Structure 1
């Protein structure tokens, strides 16, 4: 059967070629922005804040992704340093992008007077939305795929449509659509985050940490199926623990480890980082709860420490629903307490004195006799 390949160039304007990859990444960024703006309105954060964050965060993410990739592929660039800047030739990594974006957000959010954890919580579903859509850019470019599989596996067991099966035919060999695995895993993840963020038990920072834990779990298992992983040479014991012990559930499901070039190493960097992120995330949640650093709940109002930042009408309405005036509550409670004390604390002697006083008032009231005789003129 002839392989149907999607042209990576969406359209051209003169000599300028616009690639599907860039359009898809832009669509993912836009979807994430809209999600953040919508949730931000609930807390009185203006949409311009998230637009500025995106404009600064995207370049920071690209720079971080490139530095991360080059750092682990330095042997390929040390003799051709100018190739480091040729990002259009490929070579970026998602974990590097996250690191770059987080560093940018830490600086930007603090300068605007907001808590980093509160803003990161709002943006957590947006990150997953961007990754869900962005992975389809890998699909168009026929990259980041997994090891070889049969066409029967893709059509008969996974029941994938023709356009995906055909695009996974790379030079006559069918491959695991790992882009699809990760996209679907993140789709489930965003549903989970959207549900739990409305729960009262959720504390500040935990939604963002939960994003890292969820993504890292999926990335750990999917990464080992790929054949283009960044790797390094580590101890045999650690490699065996990761590839055989921790990855065993995938073997039980019928998956096989993707080929890893021994020249690159025996431990996939993304797998090791995923394990570390999962452990660190769980520990961080526990420590923040135990030490009292997570007393603020996700649903609590968000306030900027910078002057001149006023809440939106939506935020004021939300605040009025969740926070009552302390002065009004105190006054009401005081009034009820006084009235209760007056009714309950009266002794029998006081009640008898009141009854006697009422009787005295009745006795002293003058009696008016009716004039029954007619007056004579």
Structure 2
């Protein structure tokens, strides 16, 4: 559609009678499906039953969405306490990835124990899939014109050699904004490649997933500093605090698990 003289992409993909189908949901759903496909292929190579990750996703995705929304609402409680009817409205965004990760990891722990599987084996297999889903999901933010950075000029965006459809979508209420959604998406896609290559390096069990935490958190920390819509706790950006915490936790776990003998098995071992 047109806003002024700048063409914008409509956030509604389909209109089924009175029910709009938003690009945000379709893109996130596509990320989940592609990530699931990647995980299922690898899980078969690693000797797991074919339906293992299908079963994981059936539980983990709805729980992750609930936790992602609860996390977001918690840190925006001043708004949602005054507008409780909006708490369940996720059509316009409002899903915090760190909340989703917490929900997914708790689900993974419970699922692994119930199936008698190694949690670390599951998360190692899932790591590239999670990052792939995040990389694709950021394009849902693009369609919603959210998760952007501060004001810039059109010349700045053209200097990044971006296609017009991205530049135009970054024109919001008469101002151009920095496409931080794109920076994070590209960082995540690069991380997927790194993790896929590290599979062949036969790291110790658990360390592929912990590498994912380090990779994603490092990029998120710096990109978050450019954003204008960060969840805040006083003067602190919550995502940056979580990023530092996850990097420290991952590094500590790598050393502790090695020292205690919990990481003796390798990724490519049964």
TM-score band by shorter chain is over 0.9
- Which ranges of 4 or more aligned residues in structure 1 deviate by more than 4 Å? none
Larger radius of gyration: 1
TM-score, normalised via structure 2 length: 0.95
Match of 2:170 among 168, 171, 174: 168
Q: Summarize the Cα distance change of 1:82–1:166 in structure 2 as closer, same or farther, 3 Å threshold.
A: closer
In the TM superposition, 1:208-223 aligns within 5 A as 208-223=209-224
Question: Unaligned regions of 5+ residues in structure 2, if any?
Answer: none
| Aligned residue number for residue 142 of structure 2 | 139
CA distance in 2, matches of 1:16, 1:113: 43
CA distance in 2, matches of 1:153, 1:174: 9
Q: Summarize the Cα distance change of 1:81–1:166 in structure 2 as closer, same or farther, 3 Å threshold.
A: closer
CA distance in 1, matches of 2:83, 2:224: 28
| Aligned residue number for residue 232 of structure 1 | 233
Deviation at 1:88, TM superposition (A): 3.1
In the alignment, is residue 267 of structure 1 matched against residue 236 of structure 2?
yes
Match of 2:29 among 16, 26, 30: 26
CA RMSD after TM alignment: 1.3
CA distance in 1, matches of 2:194, 2:101: 20
Deviation at 1:81, TM superposition (A): 3.6
Question: For residues 120-144 of structure 1, what are the alpha-carbon distances to aligned partners after superposition, in whole Å with 9 as ceiling and x for unaligned?
Answer: 0000000011011110011111011
Q: Which has the higher strand share?
A: 2
| Aligned residue number for residue 206 of structure 2 | 205
Deviation at 1:86, TM superposition (A): 2.8
TM-score, normalised via structure 1 length: 0.69
In the TM superposition, 1:202-351 aligns within 5 A as 202-233=203-234, 266-301=235-270
| Aligned residue number for residue 116 of structure 2 | 113
Q: How many residues align?
A: 267
In the alignment, is residue 65 of structure 1 matched against residue 68 of structure 2?
yes
Deviation at 1:14, TM superposition (A): 2.1
